[in-house]
Structure 1
Amino acid sequence: MHRRFLSSVILLALSLPASAEQSIGNAASVEKDVQGTTGGHSARLSAGDGVYFDEVLTTGADSRAKLAFADRTTMQMGPSSRVKLDSFVYSGGSGVGFNAAKGAFRFVSSSGEHKPYEVKTPTATIGVRGTIFAARVLSGGRTDAVIYSGAIEVCDTAGVCRTLDRPCTFVTVTSAGISEAKTVGKNDWSFDKACKGAPPPSDQGALPPPGGPVPPLPGGSEAPFNWGGPTIGITFGPTIGDGSFADPVPMNGAAFAGGLKLGYMLPIWANIVGGFETDFQYRSEIGGSTNSHGTTSGSRPGYIGTARVKLGYAFDRFLVYGTGGFAYGHIVAPTSFSGPNVIGPAYSVGTSVNNPFLPGWTVGAGVSYALTRNISVNAEYLYIKLAHDYPLYNTSAALYSVPVCNISGMHSIRFGVNLSFSPSDILPANGGR
């Protein structure tokens, strides 16, 4: 309801400076989870809501939408699809423009007064004037374009173009170039069955009635996996010390760590995904070592946590990412020490008085694999470094507690199991914007 109110306000403001948001169409029909992001604000789209310049529209894994634009273009979005409505094309008087990052789309525009527009993907540009066609964008930016009526010109990034003007022909565009035009076969992709013996759908187009089941993508093709949304999971694995104590004696023993994590991932463009993750783990004792300076015992058990940004590249169900950010936890320092050169030339022994909890930093990388739409597994490596510190020790060399130099570093290898949610999993089925 509040989005419809916003749409009315924007229409009244069209006479004001061009910096105000302007509606360029509306959602003719919406099935399940369809999100719109504009001006840094995301909200769920409902039938009748306006859509705007530079808005990014995203459909969930079981969702579809049909949009009707002021220039008489209609667009259908298949499941797990993402498109940006470009303002520079529309405001320049040439019709609405589309930047399709992933998924499946069907476009219908009329001849006559309809103005030309463009559909852009990571590997292709499709020029359109008065026609019906469909496009699909897969992992790696591969683009398939199918013509149903009229004509389109499809160009790759090197400027090599193909014209499709015969119904039920298609081309494929990848980073390596563009294919020759071919007739759609029974195993080739098509948004609907118009090229496979069934009557072509009307412009009212192929959306199921509200509440009905959403059909899969036609042609036996699976939509690219959507890595967006919140996640909760468990994380566990070995931790190896990379610290030193006193003069110095290494703290390089092994430990086990495990705990919980929370995160949120957001598709940025094409196959690039970014997000945030935080975790909190219990860490067992990290073993000490011995050298010519002396001998150290293992550390006390403690807790370790991180809060990190993540940036990755998705190969459909595989996600490779780098990560880094803030860390915190208990230091890696021995509970006791002994030796002739630990805190001075004389032989001494000591026991710890405190177990400081300190800030630090972390950096690493990992890989995730989606087993299902909601469950994924991952493995990652993190290097964690806590602040340089001087914990206190009672020693045989002094009557009072002595601060001793300590450096706390850790190599952490982590395995995780994650449960992901889409907005449709946590919002009411009939929630509005």
Structure 2
Amino acid sequence: MKKIALYAAALTLTAGSAIAADLPSHKAPPPYIPPPPIMTWTGFYAGLNLGGGFYDSNSSNWGWNNGNNNTGGVIGGGQIGYNFQVTPMFVVGAETDFQGTSLGSGGNNNNGWLFGFGGGAGSARLNWFGTVRGRVGITLLSPQLLVYGTGGFAYGEVQRNGWWNQNSAVQTGWTAGGGAEWMFFPNWSAKVEYLYTQISGTGNNDNWLWAFNPGWGLNSTNNRTRFHTIRAGINYHFNFGSPVPVLAKY
């Protein structure tokens, strides 16, 4: 009888273990950890900038030569653009910006001539300007750091202040420069940029009233406005227009 009881107990334990092994496990699955976002410069962006600038020493405005009056001022505005990351190291894009400025040259060396005598000191101001530029850059040292060159079309309003009136005209030309941009946080970047800009146009220099010239009349001059700008900015990069990361299925 003892042997039969032992055999029965052993059989019961074995069957219980088998049944327990067939029961579903109530252990929780490991938590899902999403993959890190893909670092890319591709997509639309928009931002603000602030900086300073000054006229080039050989800039001339409506018959007055700027001489050595490299009078500077503050610039500020906004920009929008689009980047496309061709390879992990190569980025191309386009950007347009619009700036308000306080750039202006004094009249110490800006004298007109009235009946052959010096006079008519004035000043030239750049009220605003904008650009439409291409950008070509490479990522150096880190995927978050983009070093780029840029150049394209420029336009702006130049105002000439004289003795008795003001003249203003929208001039067009070109701009070129470069900069560096750092993606310091997802969707956010900061940049520093330099641009050299030259715009020009023809306008009546009414401040040369009856100036001493062969026509004894108003003088029409072709003038060039050349200036340098250095600015810092911040951009927000939108998700649309950039590739969506592919998540693994479980």
Corresponding residue number in structure 2 for 1:323: 150
Corresponding residue number in structure 2 for 1:235: 49
Q: Name the amino acid aligned to 1:262.
A: I
CA distance in 1, matches of 2:131, 2:241: 29
Corresponding residue number in structure 2 for 1:282: 100
Structure 1 residue runs without a partner (length 5+): 1-211, 218-222, 337-349, 428-433
Structure 2 residue runs without a partner (length 5+): 1-30, 112-117, 245-250
- Offset of residue 296 of structure 1: 4.6
Of 148, 155, 161, 1:335 maps to 161
CA distance in 2, matches of 1:374, 1:412: 26
Bigger CA radius of gyration: 2
Corresponding residue number in structure 2 for 1:419: 236
Matches for 1:141-160 after TM superposition, within 5 Å: none
Corresponding residue number in structure 2 for 1:379: 192
Corresponding residue number in structure 1 for 2:83: 265
- Offset of residue 257 of structure 1: 1.3
CA distance in 2, matches of 1:247, 1:256: 23
Deviations 1:310-367 (A, max 9, x none): 0001131111000000111112x5412xxxxxxxxxxxxx455420012111100000
Corresponding residue number in structure 2 for 1:311: 136
Deviations 1:130-152 (A, max 9, x none): xxxxxxxxxxxxxxxxxxxxxxx
Corresponding residue number in structure 1 for 2:35: 216
Change (3 A) 1:296 1:237: farther
Over aligned residue pairs, what C-alpha RMSD do you find? 2.9
CA contact (8 A) 2:169 2:203 kept: no
Deviations 1:69-108 (A, max 9, x none): xxxxxxxxxxxxxxxxxxxxxxxxxxxxxxxxxxxxxxxx
> What SS is found at the alignment partner of 2:40?
coil
Matches for 1:29-428 after TM superposition, within 5 Å: 215-216=34-35, 225-242=39-56, 243-245=59-61, 246=63, 248-250=65-67, 252-291=70-109, 296-314=121-139, 315-331=142-158, 334-336=160-162, 350-395=163-208, 397-398=210-211, 401-423=218-240
> What SS is found at the alignment partner of 2:136?
strand
Provide TM-score, normalisation by structure 1: 0.41
CA contact (8 A) 1:318 1:370 kept: yes
CA distance in 1, matches of 2:70, 2:144: 36
Change (3 A) 1:263 1:424: closer
- Offset of residue 248 of structure 1: 2.9
- Offset of residue 230 of structure 1: 0.5
CA distance in 1, matches of 2:52, 2:167: 25
- Offset of residue 421 of structure 1: 1.1
CA distance in 2, matches of 1:292, 1:359: 23
- Offset of residue 249 of structure 1: 3.7
CA distance in 1, matches of 2:234, 2:179: 13
Identity %: 31
CA contact (8 A) 2:204 2:220 kept: yes
Change (3 A) 1:329 1:424: closer
> What SS is found at the alignment partner of 1:423?
coil
Instruction: Kindly indicate whether structure 1 or structure 2 has the higher relative contact order, using CA contacts under 8 Å at least 6 residues apart.
Output: 2
Corresponding residue number in structure 2 for 1:57: none
> What SS is found at the alignment partner of 2:123?
coil
Deviations 1:152-194 (A, max 9, x none): xxxxxxxxxxxxxxxxxxxxxxxxxxxxxxxxxxxxxxxxxxx
Provide TM-score, normalisation by structure 2: 0.68
CA distance in 2, matches of 1:413, 1:373: 26
CA distance in 1, matches of 2:206, 2:193: 35
Q: Name the amino acid aligned to 1:362.
A: T
- Offset of residue 424 of structure 1: 8.0
CA distance in 2, matches of 1:391, 1:292: 16
- Offset of residue 281 of structure 1: 1.1
Q: How many residues align?
A: 196
Corresponding residue number in structure 1 for 2:15: none
CA contact (8 A) 1:278 1:308 kept: yes
CA distance in 2, matches of 1:320, 1:224: 20
